[in-house]
Structure formats: C-alpha cells, structure tokens
Chain A
C-alpha cells in the first residue's frame, strides 16, 4: 500500500486575522504557522496507524509552497512519513494546487490519497475532489473512519444528518475529519529522525488558476451584548421573540 498525504500550511487557530496591501493580502505579521489540523490530526495520523499495522506501507507527504514551508514538512515528518515532496510554488488557487498534487500523484502511482476535509484558512473543501477528478478515480469526502477489507477501502463518512458506510476500490482519494484518528504529539525519536528524511523539491507544472482573490474584509463588530437579569429569563425570551424575531 502506497499512501500520499496532502499537507497544507495554515495560520495557528489563535492567529489574529488582519489584512494588508489595501486588504488584498493576509497579514502574516506575527503569525505562527502550523500544519492544517485536519491534515495533521486525522489524515496523517490515520496513515501512520495504517503503516504501524502493516510496516510495508509507504507514506509520502506532499505540499505546495516555497522553502519557508520546509519546517512544516519536517514537523509532519516528526510524526511519521517516509519521504516528502515540496512543489516549489506559491499557491494560486485550489485548482492550481490540486493540479500540482495530481501530477505528483500520477508519477508516484499511489493506492490511496489522504487530504484533510478542508483547510482552516480558505475553507475550500476542494482539493480532494479536484485531485480525484484529475486522476479520474473515486473520492469519499468527510471520512470519520477508514479501514480495509478484501482489498477494498471501507469508509464511514459524514453525510448531512447522519453517517454512511461506503466501500470503494483503490486507487481512491479520501478527505479526513474528526473521528479518523487522535491528535499525536511528536516524540524525541521522531523529531531527531525528521531531519534526515528525504524532502524532494519538485518544480511546478504549467497550470493556470481559474480564480483570483480580489480583496478580504472582516465581519462588522457586534454592537454589544444586551444583558438580561438571571432573575428574569422570560425577559430574554420576550426580546428574542419581539426584538430579534428569532423565535
């Protein structure tokens, strides 16, 4: 089994969200970068578990980004993975990123491609489905459980209002979310080993993006909370009914 895990770099969940250059760029001032939590906690850790159960499994990581992304890939290596590919390019849009990863995927002939269900910055939820279409293979999104039986993948996925159990042949793309695995903390052996794992730098292929960012803005601030006395919760219900018209 050969698995490709897509790793994205995102601002830490506590980052202040601000914009520069006339609100056209995300302000990276003082931002701590992390591995996108869905990619790390669920996709990567589940892949590592598969390798722990069957050591013949090969785990490759792929990331699109410049040299400043190397620490993120090394951090992922400290949890697991055999080698990595960094596609040496800025990110244009999700079509561009998926197309670049698809190229690596075609050359590596993987059985399984894992992504997170979305990144916590652009919230696109698009990369997995796009890679699958580039490769013309099945895609299962929002996986909460992944197992294998009789040469097929058995995947529990979240659907609107419930869950569904799917079986699918390989090769396959799966987007992962909470439930797939538990977050891990890298140990010292992992951190030491991460430095010597092969990180291949690949030049991007020629793909034109389909979309572009025009600008960003922040939601309007709340005008302030209207506090109601704990003695009179019925007053809150009246306000919700008459003023907010919410119930």
Chain B
C-alpha cells in the first residue's frame, strides 16, 4: 500500500511537471498513511533532491539503452519494477509522456485510470478523483474501483510545497525489452518555456491583424518569462505554428496568468484556457465575450496598450 510516482526526465533533468506530480503523490501517500517513492527511467541529475518534494525512495534505472522513449518499453519496466516495489497508487503527470504510458499501464495492471486529475482524491468513501472534462468547462468526480489505481495529474493543478528531505536512491536492475519504436530525431521547437507547463502565457488573436505584428506578444512574453500561444483562426491561417493553438481543439492549459491580446473569446477558445488562475483580456471591442470570463481587462487598442504594459513591467522589475 504505497504510492509510486513516475518522474519524467529530459536531457538529464527532471521536468517541472514531474516535481508537481511528486509532491501530489506524496500528499496522497500522507492521506493514505503510507509513503511515496518515485521511479526514474534513465540518467538524471541529483535524484535525492526529490526528498524535498516528499519522496522517500527513488528507484532509478540507469541503462544506456533507455535514453529514447517508447511507451511499450516504459510500461513493461514500470510494471516489472513494481513486482518488488509493491505500490498500488501510481501517479503520472498528464503530459505527452504520461498520456502514452498511463493508459498502457492501466490495461497491463488492470488498474483504473483517471487522467486529467486536478485535485487530491477524496478517500472518505472509496477513492474518487476530480478531473477536468468538456475541455475545462466542467469537472467530473470519478471513482476508481480497482485495488490498483492510476492518476495522471494535469500540469499546474497542484501547488508545490518544498520541504527538507533527502530521498534514498536505489538502482534498479531490470531486463530491458527491445524497443520497437526508433526515435530518429528530436526537435525542441517551442522555445524556452513549454506551453503546457508555463506559469504565464501571452496569447494573440486575429485582432493583431497579421503575423508581422506579433512582436508585442513575444516581447511581453519574453519579459515575463512566459510562453506564447494563439487562437485557432490564427493558427489556421498560419500566422503562428499550430502547436501554439490553445482552445477546445488545441491545447488546454491552466497557467497562473493568461494574457489574451486581440482574442474575442469564442466558447471554444475559453474551453481551453478557463482553468487559468488569472485571466487578463486586452481587446478594443467592449462587447468581446472574453471580458465575461476575465479577471482584469483593458478596452483599448493593443498596439498602444501592450507597449505601455511592457514599459510598466520594466519599471516594476527595476524597482524590485
């Protein structure tokens, strides 16, 4: 009866969403009166620091042949490792890796899966997990009715609390099955901050009139350490790459701060961003539906307003 958290690494570093998953898993362990361990497939920086996130033991597989991702291989390794670890609650981050492995593990272990979880499970009567549904327009409370349980946590859903602690690192010895998928190349193209994990997102819509005007969006984003995003029409007419499209049929995000510039706020767009903690809307149309979903707004011309915002942020930064 323990909790096992899958820690995703890239280029030898633990991904931000995985720290959140670790902390979330540790909180579940505390709730259940047990302990939390983590599993790391591949070589990574000092894993004992996962202790700061509530992890007591880290199981690490260090084999060189595991440096490329294959969901089938990862699933088998986690299932095999758990023969000795004996966990019955598994936590993933609901990222592209988590979404590839968690469903496979669910079938392999006959463990009920809730993906897109946004809160700690309610264990007062069974094991019920709150998840985002209808692309952020509602929540569902799902009971996992099996002994083994899997949760894939949506990024930016759980506040990370760092504490003192050192995790014990245990090296795993497992036979690694041959991967059928060969990774030919990896391109990091989305910039410094992955959109799904970004704390702040600056997003532009058709109100910006053309791709040549995106400078104010990227300047503001850069200054705030934010990721950039866009509305569906903008990606459809190829002003911006499609991986920047947030909304019902694009990426659903939940940053701390979402700044929408020149986006009217169609219901499909809102569906992808309405879990953002604070929403700021800049639009020259006072009737734009987005204002109804916003926390702060400015009715005005983005080309005048945004440069002034940039100046104000620079001043703020200088004063700190």
Which residues from chain A sit less than 8 Å from chain B, CB to CB?
A: 11, 13-14, 17, 19, 37-38, 41, 93-95, 98-99, 120-130, 132-134, 136-142, 144, 154, 157-169, 178-179, 209-219, 222, 225-230, 233-234, 236-241, 244, 246-247
A125-B103, A142-B96 given; A214·B142 CB < 8 A: yes
Specify the chain A residue showing the minimal Cβ separation from B284.
Answer: A230
- Point out the residue from B15, B103, B297 that lies within 8 Å of A226, measured CB to CB: B297
A142-B99, A163-B189, A247-B313 given; A230·B249 CB < 8 A: no
Q: Least Cβ distance of A191 to chain B in Å?
A: 24
Contact B296 A94 (CB under 8 A): no
Specify the chain A residue showing the minimal Cβ separation from B71.
Answer: A139
Contact B312 A225 (CB under 8 A): no
Contact A247 B100 (CB under 8 A): no
Contact A124 B115 (CB under 8 A): yes
A139-B72, A222-B293 given; A210·B257 CB < 8 A: no
Q: Least Cβ distance of A218 to chain B in Å?
A: 5
| Cα of A154 to Cα of B183 in the assembled complex, Å | 10
Query: Looking at the complex, which of B83-91, B161-169, B193-201, B207-215 is the stretch in contact with chain A?
Result: B193-201
Q: Which residues of B contact A141 (CB under 8 A)?
A: 71, 96, 99-100
Contact B184 A167 (CB under 8 A): yes
Q: Which residues of A contact B64 (CB under 8 A)?
A: none
A37-B249, A139-B100 given; A227·B299 CB < 8 A: yes
Q: Least Cβ distance of B123 to chain A in Å?
A: 13
- Point out the residue from A157, A216, A222, A229 that lies within 8 Å of B298, measured CB to CB: A229
Of B97, B103, B256, B275, the most chain A CB neighbours within 10 A belong to B103
Q: Count how many chain B residues have C-beta atoms less than 8 Å from C-beta atoms of the other chain.
A: 103
Q: Which residues of A contact B268 (CB under 8 A)?
A: 13-14
Contact A227 B104 (CB under 8 A): no
Contact B113 A211 (CB under 8 A): yes
B2 part of interface (Cβ distance < 8 Å): no
Query: Looking at the complex, which of B27-35, B42-50, B128-136 is the stretch in contact with chain A?
Result: B128-136
Q: Which residues of A contact B72 (CB under 8 A)?
A: 132-133, 136-139
Q: Least Cβ distance of B119 to chain A in Å?
A: 12
A128-B103, A161-B188 given; A219·B135 CB < 8 A: no
- Point out the residue from B184, B188, B292 that lies within 8 Å of A162, measured CB to CB: B188
Contact B301 A230 (CB under 8 A): yes
Contact A168 B182 (CB under 8 A): yes
Q: Which residues of A contact B116 (CB under 8 A)?
A: 123-125
| Cα of A127 to Cα of B136 in the assembled complex, Å | 20
B67 part of interface (Cβ distance < 8 Å): no
